[in-house]
Structure 1
């Protein structure tokens, strides 16, 4: 009698192991694992261009002069609790502040897509092309990226 109980126990244990670990059913040929999605904490909080929640930088200050006179002034600054934006295009007589300026700068940021690895000359070329400027007398740009790196361009012609 002990043999039958032992044999029954072994069979029951074997069935549980095979049933619990097996991959039987209509999706038996598919993998049973999924890749984990890991998002760095700084991307959750402030965002980055890779996640679509931000631009990859928290400060953007652009000044372009043509023939020694201001042509483009753009400022974008993100502090812990608010976004400040100002935009002035004297070539087209446009002066914007706050949300209107942010919306205008958003078009620029999405179109030119600057990262910390973009070369200085590419940054200059992209911005000048965006605004349709061929020649300038002064180009001054400061960008503070989310990871702490900075881009500072000062060119005079």
Structure 2
């Protein structure tokens, strides 16, 4: 009798494991079935880097001049099609498309600005990122996802 209980317990346990972990759906044998993908919580709610929600803004337009000459220009706009341009004359980089996006993504993730970040803190974070001590012109325009705008213009 005890062997019967043990055998039925093993059978029931293995059936539950196979049912819970197995892939017995109607498309299990099809080679072209869809693979599961991981989705970040923000993407599920409609946000991603392509829509701007990944960084918190839909446009980012930066221009920094050093000693009266163009030094850094960065443009990121997702209001229509994704448009990204980046030029850093101090390090001789001029990038577009995915190369520019990779470069700007590093900047965005380092500075992490929000609509509530004070203007001087935004300037300081960007200058620190580019290792600049001074500038002759700093112009930044950011349109945040919630419709608020940040506009910093400083000429020295």
State the distance in 2 between where 1:151 and 1:79 align.
16
Structure 1: give runs of 5+ residues left out of the alignment. Answer: 1-38
How much has 1:46 moved relative to structure 2?
Answer: 3.3
How much has 1:43 moved relative to structure 2?
Answer: 7.2
How much has 1:44 moved relative to structure 2?
Answer: 2.2
1:7-156 alignment to 2 at 5 Å?
Answer: 44-47=45-48, 54-80=54-80, 82-156=81-155
Residue pair 1:47, 1:56 contacting (<8 A) in 2 also: no
Alignment TM-score, normalising by the size of structure 1: 0.68
Query: CA 1:126–1:45 in 2, change beyond 3 Å: closer, same or farther?
Result: same
Deviations 1:29-52 (A, max 9, x none): xxxxxxxxxx89x9722348xxxx
Aligned length: 114
How much has 1:117 moved relative to structure 2?
Answer: 0.3
Structure 2: give runs of 5+ residues left out of the alignment. Answer: 1-40
Report runs of 4+ in structure 1 exceeding 4 Å deviation. none
State the distance in 1 between where 2:112 and 2:44 align.
17
- The alignment yields a C-alpha RMSD, in angstroms, of 2.2
Query: CA 1:152–1:43 in 2, change beyond 3 Å: closer, same or farther?
Result: farther
